Amino acid sequence: MTISGSIFAALLTPFYDSGKVNPNGVAPLVDYCLSKGVHGLYAGGTTGESVLQTLEERAELLTALAEHAGGKCTLIAHVGAASTSDAVSLASTAKSLGYDAVSAVPPFYYKHNFDDISFYYQAIADASELPVIIYNIPVLTGTDLTSQKLLSLMQDPRIAGCKFTAKDLFQFQQLRQAAPDKKFYFGTDEMFLGAAAMGTDGGIGSTYNLIGDVYIGIEAAVKVGEIEHARSLQAKANALIVVLLQTGVIPGLKYALNKMQIPVGPCRAPFRLPDADSLKLLDLWLTENGYLG
């Protein structure tokens, strides 16, 4: 089971102003992301506002993406859900649509024991018959998959690796060293350079929707030892992230892309529009960096 590429945009979900999923907005967003050089797209995850959508809406997004981007790049479907049946349904959909891999957060809200979590991932692997990437983001799911638990899950050969969205670079490096035959993708955008220097199989991030080329550049610079250039690129990304932390990351990214005539629409409530002062800062960053005329 192989997954091609290393830099994947954690894709936003386009919505109409009415609040409904906009499948027609997928193509322009995908085309922009691919124009920045990303190797693939990770759909229906945190950045995609998946927990605010129905099962049918999530399947609608996966379908629209497969129809437009199938064969153009690597496609990874995030299918994680609170219930195993929902995750299995989406995993089956991803299989039928020709996705290259699936990914899933652990089942959330309830404090499940490790056996429950193991059976959940086994069910996803059974349904998808695709490589499975564990999505470990404890700050949001409330489930902290320790190194021991992650390595235990990865004993299943169908578990291809992990999307690691946390700030512990030591744990990340130790995991990668302990399981060299698995893929470890870093998901904390503001620290990607650190992960690249420690050794990563790539990155999956939200800001890649807008500046995917920056992360392509960081990865390439580290590989050839151009650390000062890599630092300058990470600094560019982090200057954007500082602003996005004020607007809200997802609302800010959508605002930026809409201003660039890429129609991703609004976020879904309870997200709200960022305040005017933070949007002025974002406009300034976009203008100074050549994203707005």
Phi-psi region of 161 (alpha: psi -120 to 50; beta: other; left: phi over 0): left
Q: For residue 125, what are the CA distances in angstroms to 98, 104, 134, 228?
A: 15, 10, 11, 41
Identity of the residue numbered 62: L
Tokens of 84: 């195993």
Contacts of residue 117, defined as CB under 8 A and 6 or more positions apart, other chains included, come to: 106, 107, 143, 145, 149, 153
Cα–Cα distance between 132 and 125 in angstroms, integer?
6
Give the single-character DSSP code of 213.
H
Cα–Cα distance between 226 and 241 in angstroms, integer?
23
Q: Determine which one of 42, 135, 208, 255 is catalytic.
A: 135
57 phi/psi in degrees, rounded to 5:
-65, -40
Examine the residue annotation and report whether 163 is marked as an active-site residue of this protein: yes
Q: Determine which one of 32, 121, 163, 255 is catalytic.
A: 163
Cα–Cα distance between 64 and 29 in angstroms, integer?
12
DSSP string, 27-93: HHHHHHHHHTT-SEEEESSTTTTGGGS-HHHHHHHHHHHHHHHTTTSEEEEE---SSHHHHHHHHHH
Examine the residue annotation and report whether 135 is marked as an active-site residue of this protein: yes
Q: Residue 9 pairs with which residues in a beta bridge?
A: 41, 205
Contacts of residue 17, defined as CB under 8 A and 6 or more positions apart, other chains included, come to: 265, 266
Task: Give me the sign of the Cα torsion angle 23, 25, 28, 30.
Answer: negative
Active site residues: 135, 163
